[in-house]
Chain A
Amino acid sequence: MLEIKNLKASINSRDIIKGLDITIKPGELHAIMGPNGSGKSTLANVLSGKNGYHISGVIQYKGKNLIEIPVDERAQKGIFLAFQYPTEIPGVNTNNFLKTSLNKVRKSKGEKELDTLTFLKIVKEKSAELGIDEKILSRQLNVGFSGGEKKKNEILQMKILDPSFMILDETDSGLDIDALKTIANGVNSSRDKKKSFLVITHYQRLLNYIKPDFVHVLSDGKIVKSGGMELAVELEKTGYKKIK
């Protein structure tokens, strides 16, 4: 699914990712943990295609190098980033935006565009499945949403767009236990043999619910240790200092 080789990223001549290798196979869920400032969010941004970084190395996704491909095309190819801080966009109705977005993704796959009624049916289904109040979708995009609502909205968008590679950037930060379960539910119900995840988190808490196949520790722009769930448990006890 995704193969990253010797990835380096810098912004304003500051090196952030300094030679990162990771391979994610279809059906796998990888967790990335690491101290503040280790490059976790930069990795998420670079994978999604955000402008402004100077990048070298290879990001091979379904056999194609992504480096030169712009953000929107990556999204259309099935890459989804759940934002750490979803942007508030005043005046834009969430449903209208999401319908445009879904139709763009469908069109690029050669699928028929959906009319409003069919779209709303899907929204209803997916929000019921996640236990999310679909009313948030008739509001302006993320405007006045609580922290929890914003994160839930990201997961609902993820469910509706049905991508094949999902990046969650600290989606669990700042959530109460019920919201955390909603997020975990969203991830677990999306898991299948063809889909993969990269979950960035600070806490073992989320991983208890979503059971990663691999856990990596990112420090100073490099993966310094990889393992299974036991690594997350160890980190929770000892912190990052010993691993460095």
Chain B
Amino acid sequence: MINNFKVNSNEIDKFKKISKQEKEFRIKNLNLFNKNGFPNNKSEDWKFSDLRDIVSKNFKKLDVQIINSKSKNTTLIKNFDHNFLVLINGNLSSSNFDFEEKNKIKIKNFYNDNFSDINKYNPLIHLNHALSDTGYSLEIADNYKFKKTLVIYNIFTKELNENILNSRNKIQIGKNSELHTIDLVVNESKNKFMNNVYENVILKENAIYKNICIQNEKSDGFFHKFSKNTLSSKSKYSSFIFPSGLKFNKLDLEFNLEGEGSECNLQAASLLNKNDHQEIKTRINHLVPNCKSYQIVKNVLNTESKGVYQGKIFVKDIAQKTDAYQLSKALLLNDNSEFNSKPELEIYADDVKCSHGSTSGSIDETSIYYLMSRGLNREESVRLLVSGFLNEIIEMIKSNSIKKFVQKKIEEQIHGN
């Protein structure tokens, strides 16, 4: 139980059969979390998202116990063939790799073999490191290209009520291998709960990872995810994220371009509705020469929603010929909505190409007039403009069947289904 934002140290005693090293790691992180509790807006990284305030206003208590929900029949996507993982409240409940060579894939339940990584900046990671015992670890062998997409169904069940889930996931893709995933959130919960995820993605030389993350079901979930991505030479990571509909959502994404010629692309499109609060925070570390990074983040903000984008590009002194791009665009549909954008460039090399841009504005009345002059009413015209605004991101998805699937999800959301 978390009381007054402190975790009782006896929660650690509940983990049986763990090594001394793991126990120390958990205690160390627990103490780090307890030192300050949930972060508030005095911390620069949480300037626009005062989590302490949000938690205290929304939760009387937070139960850290694992919810053991039984596996139900998951409704699988029928639009395209795929492999899948089913996570129930963060816990790996089943996996299916029928389209693949199974000896190339290692899938395990929660697994942590790294007890040295102490992140100094984010209390939510400390909390996760102290308490996590659900999640999965997926390793792909060298020289193996997945034949079909892997869909990860993230199901949150009805049993959740003022719980906090802490899970830890790892994806490692071997040399010259390729994996495409879709993270799909399926929400069955009716109550408030927190979900705190730590994700570690490792791309070996020449590996390709493409991920699409779809969270667009309305939910009383409060989500935080820290994602640490490490890219070896010539590896490529492309991530599309379509998050929205959560009471609170913070995505803290860190990309470490450690190998020459590596490349990461981040494309995000969100429609935020009443009382949604969402922050996307990125840190791209260009650590070696000749790497590329590209970020485009688009937000549509409806009445009384709040959106945040904090994007940092760091270029180390030796990282010459870096090519980094960052753009944030926000469309505010109402005077009551709020968008905060904080682009940051920290560059120590002298031969680099770095650019950033940020725009936010209201709906264009000339466009509305044009659409209405063709018989659409105002509401339909706004919907069409919103869908067009977000569609620019969806159009970047190469696979047609997946593009259509995402388009349908977003359209449903725009039409308020």
Chain A: residues with CB nearer than 8 A to chain B? 48-51, 70-72, 74-76, 80-81, 83, 86-87, 89-92, 97-98, 100-101, 104-105, 108, 140-141, 157, 161
Contact = CB atoms under 8 A, between A and B. Distances in A.
A89 B374 contact: no
Interface stretch (B56-64, B189-197, B376-384): B376-384
B72 to A, nearest CB: 36
Nearest to B364: A87
A81 B373 contact: yes
16 contacts: A51-B369, A72-B373, A72-B376, A75-B373, A83-B370, A83-B373, A87-B369, A87-B370, A89-B385, A92-B388, A97-B371, A97-B374, A98-B374, A101-B374, A105-B375, A141-B388
Interface in B351-389: 364-367, 369-378, 380, 384-385, 387-389
Contacts of B367: 87, 89
Nearest to B374: A101
A70 B53 CA distance: 45
Given A91-B387, A92-B384, A100 B369 contact: no
Contacts of A87: 364, 366-367, 369-370
A72 B377 CA distance: 6
Nearest to B383: A100
B388 A71 contact: no
Task: Give the most central of A72, A81, A97, A104: most B CB within 10 Å.
Answer: A72
A193 B373 CA distance: 24
A184 B311 CA distance: 52
Interface stretch (B36-44, B339-347, B390-398): B390-398
A91 B389 contact: yes
A105 B372 CA distance: 11
Nearest 3 Cβ contacts at the A-B interface: A91-B388, A92-B388, A91-B391
Contact of A91 (B364, B369, B378, B395): B395
Contacts of B373: 48-50, 71-72, 74-75, 80-81, 83
Interface of B: 364-367, 369-378, 380, 384-385, 387-392, 395
Contacts of B377: 72
Contact of A75 (B364, B366, B375, B392): B375
Given A89-B367, A89-B385, A70 B380 contact: no
A100 B376 contact: yes
Contacts of A75: 372-375
A60 B385 CA distance: 32
Nearest to A79: B373
A100 B372 contact: no
Given A51-B369, A83-B370, A89 B376 contact: no
A153 B126 CA distance: 58
A71 B380 CA distance: 13
Given A87-B370, A92-B385, A101 B390 contact: no
Nearest to B366: A87
Contact of A97 (B365, B384, B389): B384
Given A89-B385, A91-B389, A91-B391, 8 more contacts: A75-B373, A81-B373, A91-B390, A91-B392, A97-B374, A100-B376, A100-B380, A104-B376
Contacts of A72: 372-373, 375-378
